[in-house]
Amino acid sequence: MKLFYNPASPFVRKVLVTAIECQVEAQINKEPLALTPVSPSDALNADNPLGKIPALVLDNGSTLFDSRVICEYLNQLGGGTLFPNDDSRWQALRRQSIADGMCDAGVLVRYETFVRPEERQWDHWINNQKDKFRRATALLESEVSGFGDTIDIGTLSVAIALDYIDFRYSDESWRNQCPALAAWHQSISTRPSLAQTMPKDLA
């Protein structure tokens, strides 16, 4: 399988973490891409018309996207337990949705501040995107006591979203407002799948 990939993307990281957790990482060849919405890749567009990463090209030639679909596929391929089949499934998927929304907002701000010319940037829009992940961390602070030791697509996604905020917006002070979430994050961050995939810029 071929994974279109950038080590800074939190959505790619979710796929890599899932692959490690489900022990299918060795089956994946990583194809690095420096990609922004205004610098598309013809190779990626040929496999994913949306031009987005992650995209996973299967050995039969078909391509899976987005990260949610790829993660569920890898979980099934490896016989993993990241997508529960009992009632806890909805809690896991809801946490994944909160985390993905935080990453969506974080990535949009990244594009606005890094890709768009400075004179065209819109602070009001940027602040409204940042408010999304600020409200989300406040919600997670109120819910983190229910996380326990759960390792599933929901809790892993939350850890990944918090790491992306730290990576791109290190001046965000979510730990001050969310001490319980910070303690949980510190604890889960020692998990090898997370520790081995910390976000970084493409070399």
Q: Is 110 in the site for ligand BEZ (CB under 6 A)?
A: yes
Only one of the segments 5-13, 24-32, 63-71, 76-84 lies at the binding site for ligand BEZ (rule: CB under 6 A); that segment is 5-13
What's the rounded Cα separation, in Å, for the pair 155 and 161? 10
Chain centre to alpha carbon of residue 44: 19
Q: Is 132 in the site for ligand BEZ (CB under 6 A)?
A: no
Q: Is 8 in the site for ligand BEZ (CB under 6 A)?
A: yes
Q: Is 162 in the site for ligand BEZ (CB under 6 A)?
A: no
Residue type present at position 13: R
Size of the site for ligand BEZ (CB under 6 A): 7
The SS3 assignment for 73 reads: helix
DSSP string, 88-129: HHHHHHHHHHHHHHHHHHHHHHHIIIIIS-GGG--HHHHHHH
What's the rounded Cα separation, in Å, for the pair 146 and 33? 38
What DSSP designation does 51 have? -
Q: Is 18 in the site for ligand BEZ (CB under 6 A)?
A: no
Least CB distance from residue 9 to ligand BEZ, whole Å? 3
Q: Compare residues 8 and 180 and give the one whose CB is closer to ligand BEZ.
A: 8
Least CB distance from residue 161 to ligand BEZ, whole Å? 12
Q: Compare residues 8 and 93 and give the one whose CB is closer to ligand BEZ.
A: 8
By the criterion CB under 6 A, which residues form the site for ligand BEZ?
6, 8-9, 35, 107, 110, 168
